[in-house]
Amino acid sequence: MKEQFRNDTPINYEVVSRQIDEMNLASVGKASIREIKRLVDNIEQASGEKYIRMEMGIPGMKPSSIGTEAEIEALRNGVAAIYPDIDGIPELKKQISRFVKNFMDIDVKPEACIPTVGSMQGSFAAFLTLSRMYPEKDTTLFIDPGFPVHKQQHKVLGQKYESFDVYAYRGEKLREKLESYFKKGNIHSVLYSNPNNPSWICFTDEELQIIGELANQYNVVICEDLAYFGMDFRKDYSQPGIPPFQPTVAKYTDNYILLISSSKAFSYAGQRIGMMVVSNKLFIRRAPGLPQYYNCDNFGRAMIFGTVYALSSGTAHSAQYALAAMLKAANDGKFNFIEEVKVYGEKAKIMKKLFTDAGFHIVYDTDGEEPIADGFYFTISYPGLTGEELIEELIFYGISAISLAITGSERTEGLRACVSLVKPSQFPDLESRLKKFSLHHAV
């Protein structure tokens, strides 16, 4: 920032600088999500000013009472004392199977629908088991940008991964790019999130078809991370059994595992419950590498009685009743879970306009010909600044976000902004702070 503007920043320049020094960070621009959070907490306390907090992707909504009441009742009935089945209570398995039929139009047997301790445990269990099916296939491919914790899971497991930024490979270009990895024969699975954290791009049906076809051709399992299930608000995916349905690669291949989180779509992050949905065919697949680690060569059995048993022996009993009740109500058309979270999209629409009016650009901006949806996240850049520089500047203007660089994105000029914690009552502050920012950073 130019020296002449230092006495004109929305948050006192000296206070912010002192807090940055006290945190002893090598660079604010390279800080992790949790470090940025701590820094902003400290500045808010020292300055008495509230930030526009866009650094963390935490749900900002109350869960439906359908879930909490069912969970309380289950606890009253004493389920806390009893081990749940490793692969989930029958009612939840049935409702997950109904849910994927009603909202994705796919057929999966209840036995292949497994609750997990958050979608995070689902991906951990998936990577662990998938990497052991075929000795020659020892590597995961990430279609980035992505959620950094999945890569951390690989580091913790000592497993290999490769990745590429999909920005330059949308549409038909995706085929050749994916094939260049699959041809080598070492890829056991692919993971991407859709809608995507951090960029909020959504794959088109053409792209999902390409991914599915190549999964069949090269025997690669697709792990589709649906942490933001149904939250592409450009289409109405909220009516059970009625199209349009949440798009999925499962329409084009039987080589899939769906990871469906309850954290965002059902605002149930705190109870750590998610769903792993394995295709019927993959569930009964036999693979030569499995017996070295499990007492069978069958994928579904290895997953449940090997991996999930060893990790946590199932998922908290009471939370399963909560999720079963919410899914049942959604399946019966009595609970429009998507309507509950639409407010994220409404906020994003306004916030994106405030940013672009102030001279910012949306980095990942289209799906095919269409502008990307308004949802939980969006990506921004400012002419002439790298992502790192942009965070380092914005922090003096009472605005926080994270750098795209930590998500595997090659768009190093970009930041990820999350709308969930920003209140509409803060929009006037956001607008005036952005105006001041662009005044101080004339292009």
Residues that bind ligand PLP (CB under 6 A): 57, 118-120, 147, 193, 197, 225, 227, 261, 263, 269, 274
- Site of tokens 């991964």: 161
Q: Cβ of residue 79: shortest distance to ligand PLP, in angstroms?
A: 21
Closer CB to ligand PLP, 269 or 343, in the complex: 269
Q: Cβ of residue 157: shortest distance to ligand PLP, in angstroms?
A: 16
Per-residue tokens: 173: 């270009």
Q: Cβ of residue 119: shortest distance to ligand PLP, in angstroms?
A: 3
Q: Cβ of residue 193: shortest distance to ligand PLP, in angstroms?
A: 4
Closer CB to ligand PLP, 131 or 262, in the complex: 262
Closer CB to ligand PLP, 5 or 167, in the complex: 167
Phi, psi of 366 (to 5 degrees): -140, 155
Q: Cβ of residue 63: shortest distance to ligand PLP, in angstroms?
A: 13
Q: Which amino acid is at 238?
A: S
Closer CB to ligand PLP, 147 or 344, in the complex: 147
Q: Cβ of residue 162: shortest distance to ligand PLP, in angstroms?
A: 18
Instruction: Note whether 329 and 67 are within 8 A (CB).
Output: no
Tell me the CB-side half-sphere exposure of residue 193, using CA atoms within 13 A: 27
Closer CB to ligand PLP, 199 or 255, in the complex: 199
Gap between the Cα atoms of 322 and 168, Å rounded: 41
Closer CB to ligand PLP, 263 or 315, in the complex: 263
Q: Cβ of residue 253: shortest distance to ligand PLP, in angstroms?
A: 20
Gap between the Cα atoms of 7 and 440, Å rounded: 12
Where does residue 114 rank: exposed (0-12), middle (13-18), buried (19+ CB within 10 A)?
A: buried
Closer CB to ligand PLP, 229 or 355, in the complex: 229
Closer CB to ligand PLP, 197 or 253, in the complex: 197
Gap between the Cα atoms of 250 and 269, Å rounded: 25
Q: Cβ of residue 121: shortest distance to ligand PLP, in angstroms?
A: 7
Q: Cβ of residue 260: shortest distance to ligand PLP, in angstroms?
A: 8
Q: Cβ of residue 376: shortest distance to ligand PLP, in angstroms?
A: 8
Rg (CA), the chain: 22
Per-residue tokens: 56: 């963390």
Where does residue 26 rank: exposed (0-12), middle (13-18), buried (19+ CB within 10 A)?
A: exposed
In angstroms, how far is CA 132 from the centroid of its own chain?
Answer: 25
Q: Write out the DSSP string of 206-273.
A: HHHHHHHHHHHHHT-EEEEEETTTT--TTS---STTSSS----GGGT-S-EEEEEESTTTTS-GGG--
Closer CB to ligand PLP, 120 or 395, in the complex: 120
Closer CB to ligand PLP, 112 or 120, in the complex: 120
Per-residue tokens: 139: 């590597």
Strands 160-165 and 139-144: parallel
Neighbouring-strand partners of residue 224:
192, 258
Q: Which amino acid is at 326?
A: M
Gap between the Cα atoms of 414 and 364, Å rounded: 9
Q: Cβ of residue 11: shortest distance to ligand PLP, in angstroms?
A: 27
The residue whose Cβ lies closest to ligand PLP is 118
Helix, strand, coil content of the chain in percent (nearest 5): 45, 15, 40
Strands 113-116 and 274-278: antiparallel
Q: Which amino acid is at 388?
A: E
Closer CB to ligand PLP, 197 or 279, in the complex: 197
